Structures are given as C-alpha cells and as structure tokens.
Structure 1
Amino acid sequence: MLISLQNVCKEYQLGEVTTTALKDVNLEVKKGEFVVVLGPSGSGKSTLLHVSGGLDQVSDGKIIVNGSEITKMKSSQLTNFRRKELGFIFQQYHLMPNMTVFENVEVGARLSRCPLDVQKVLKEVMLDEMLHHFPYQLSGGQQQRVAIARAIAKNPSILFCDEPTGALDEETGKLVLEVLQRVNEEFQTTIILITHNLGIAQMADKVIKMKSGMVVEVMQNPHKVRASEVSWA
C-alpha cells in the first residue's frame, strides 16, 4: 500500500475544550489510485488530508506513506519528506505574482531530485502557450492549473488536493478536474482529492465518505466517468 492509516485519532485542545477531528481512522490507498474523500464541513476530511500529508501531527495511531512511518518523523524530517515525495494543491493558488507561468512551475521542479520536464507538464495542463504570462494575466481556472503544474513538476508520489474546484464555476471546475485526471493517467500519480461535491466521486477509483471524524464508508467505483461527464453540484 502507498498510504496506510492505522487507528488514527486527532484531537484539538482549545482551553478546556477538546475537539475530536479524527476518530479511529483505518484506511489504505494503493499506488496510482484516484481517491475522492467526501463529507460535509466539519466531517474531518481536511484533517485527514493534513495528517496524511504530514502537515499536522496525529494524537494517536500510525501513518505509513510510501514505506516511511511519518508519525515517527521529526519536523525537519517531515519537511524533507514532503519536499521529496508529496505535492499539494489548495483552493488558494499561492502563485508568485512577480514570476511567469514557467518560472512558477520551475520552482516546484527545483524541489525535486528527479523532476518532470516543465514544458511537458505545462502542455499536459494546457498552458504551453502561456509560458511567459504572469498570474494577474490569467483567469482563476488558469491559475489553478499553474498550481497543479507546479505540484506535478516535482514528480510527487502523491498529490493531495484540498477543494481544488471549490472557488470555480462548473465549466472551469471540470477543466481543472480533466487536468487532474490526465495527470493521474499520464504520470500514474496517486491523487487524493477532498470535496463536498458529490458529483466528483463519479471519476474516482475509490470513494471515502466521512462523518463526524470517522470513515463511514469506503467503496470502489465500478464505472468511472470522464471529468467532462461529472454531474456538478
């Protein structure tokens, strides 16, 4: 398994109040899978992404990613592991405003010992004719695709996507999903995408449903659809 979560719990302490974000989560993700995590606000799906990607520590349990137990790593080790192995895409694009499209993606490539070719990646995300544009010259969907290209250029084992279409309209959102689908198929990149949009689950290999910090259902999708065919919600 590429990712294994074993009896994972996560609690947050604010004064005398303890909030349980994850409760006894057991989960496995195979290499090359496109996984969609569904759940309402407060269900724990963002926390699941953060602990699986080493962005946050667990309160209890074990997480193994690509053969390494990240729950035993120190902060400096985690930083190095994320740089080498993982890619992240968030709802906010976090692009460098004074850098071109090519330069923004090149930043991601420089973090890796075995990066992908920047121009090839930009062609995959359909931005190869905008190499010299700056972020302010791009639409929201185009900026999100630059963020995807930057994450992919470092050639990560796993790409974590936190509501990547949350701020986009249907047409633009489907274009971004199409890019992610192509990245998954072209580079065999494992993708874990969290969303509240039920329709996006139609394009996943595996669907994980969460409620109140627990995984309530895990199912394989027998009939995946193309991103363009997703029922938008």
Structure 2
Amino acid sequence: MLISIQNVCKNYRAGDIETAALKDINLEVNKGEFVVVLGPSGSGKSTLLHVSGGLDDVNDGTIIVNGEEITKMKGSQLTNFRRKELGFIFQQYNLMPNMTVFENVEVGARLSHHPLDVEKVLQEVMLDDLFSQFPYQLSGGQQQRVAIARAIAKNPSILFCDEPTGALDEETGKTVLEVLQRINEEFQTTIFLITHNLGIADMADKVVRMKSGEIVEVRHNTHKKRASEVSWA
C-alpha cells in the first residue's frame, strides 16, 4: 500500500466559525495506480490532496505514505520527505523564467538521490525539441508539460496533480493527460489527480467521489480510456 489514509479529519477556523473540510476519511492507494478524485468546489478534494502530500496537517487521523507516517512528521523532516519522495503539479506552472526548459527540469532532478535522466523525461513529455527555450516562448500546455517533467525528473513515488488541466482548452488538456498517462505506464509512477472534470475519471484505475468533506463513492474502472478518448466538460 503506497498511501494509507485512516480516519482523517481536517477543520479550518475563521474567527468563531469552524468548518469541517474532511470528515473521517479512509482511503488506500496502491503503487502504480492512477487515482482520480472528483467533486465540486468545497467538496474537500483539494484539502485531501494537501494533507496526503504533507502540504497541510490534520486534526485527527493517520496518513502513511510509502511506509512513512507523515502525520507524525514536523518541519524539516516533512520538507525533506516531500522533496525526496513526492512530486506536485498545480494549475500554475511555477517555472523559473530565467531558466531554459532543460534547466527547469534539471532543478527537479537535483532534488533526488535517484533522479531520472532529464533528456529521457523531456522525450516522454514530448518536449525534446525545446530544450533551450525559455518559459515565455512556450504555450500554456507546453509550460504545463515542463512542470510535469520537472516533477517527474526526481523520480517521485507519487505525483500529486491539483487540477492540472483546469486552465487549459480541451485539445491542450488532453495532451497533458496523455503525458500523465504515459508517465504512469512508463515509470509506474502513482498518480493522484483531483479534478472537477467528470470525463477524466474514465482514464483512472480508481475513482474517488467526494461531497461535503466526505468520500461518497470509490469505484474501479475495469476498462480505462486513453486520454484522447475522454469526454470533456
């Protein structure tokens, strides 16, 4: 079991008002799975990603990632674990504007003791002809693929994806999803992706539906679609 989430609760307080973002969450993710978490805004899916990836703490419960109980980690220990073991992709690309495509990806590789070959990763994300380009010279979809390559280059156990196609049009979004699907299959990287796009669930091994801070359904796809085949919404 690569991720084990046990009885996790997360509350946020604003003044005298406390909101339950996660309510007694239990979920397991196996190595190599492509997991898609669905839900409307406010359902708790982003919070689930943040606590699972050690970006936020929990009020109660246990999260074990790759054999390590991250809910017991604090400060530099948690930072080092994230740096070595986990990859993150967000809607914002967060690329270094003064670095080339190759140099941006190389930054990710340098964070790991067992990185992947930067050139091979760029080939996998279909950017091997843009090594020397700068971010401002790239389209949004190309910049997102650079962000994916940077996260993958350090050879993470899990790749956490927070609405990675949310700001992209259908054609570009499907290209990005195709890259994630190839990364999952080529490197056996576990993908944990949250989205409001229902069609993306068709390419997942496991689909998790959330509502009001709770998991309301977990199902498995016996026949997965290719990224190019998913319906877009």
> Is the TM value for this pair above 0.5?
yes
AA aligned opposite 1:88: F
Give the C-alpha shift of residue 14 in structure 1.
1.1
Alignment-mate amino acid for residue 27 of structure 1 = L
Q: CA deviation at 1:18?
A: 0.1
Structure 2 match to 1:74 = 74
2: CA distance between counterparts of 1:11 and 1:148?
Answer: 30
1:153 aligns with 153
Alignment match, 2:115: 115
Q: Give TM-score, length-normalised by structure 1.
A: 1.00
> How many angstroms does 1:75 deviate by?
1.4
Residue matched to 2:7: 7
Distance 1:228 1:168 in 2: 15
In the other structure, the counterpart of 1:18 is 18
Whole-angstrom CA distance in 1 between matches of 2:135 and 2:189: 26
Normalising by structure 2, we get a TM-score of 1.00
For 1:77 and 1:207, the matched residues in 2 are separated by: 31
Q: Which moved more, 1:170-179 or 1:71-80?
A: 71-80
1:200 equivalenced with 2:191 (yes/no): no
Q: CA deviation at 1:182?
A: 0.1
Tell me the percent identity. 84
Poorly superposed stretches of 4+, deviation over 4 Å: none
Unmatched 5+ stretches in structure 2:
none
Deviation readout 1:127-184 (Å, 9 max, x if unpaired): 0000000000000000000000000000000000000000000000000000000000
The unaligned stretches of length 5 or more in structure 1 are: none
RMSD: 0.3
- Work out the CA distance in 2 between the residues paired with 1:143 and 1:220: 31
| Separation (CA, whole Å) in 2 of partners of 1:75 and 1:189 | 26
Report the Cα offset of residue 74 of structure 1. 1.1
How many residue pairs are counted as aligned between the two chains? Answer: 233
State how far apart, in whole Å, the 2-side matches of 1:106 and 1:226 are: 29
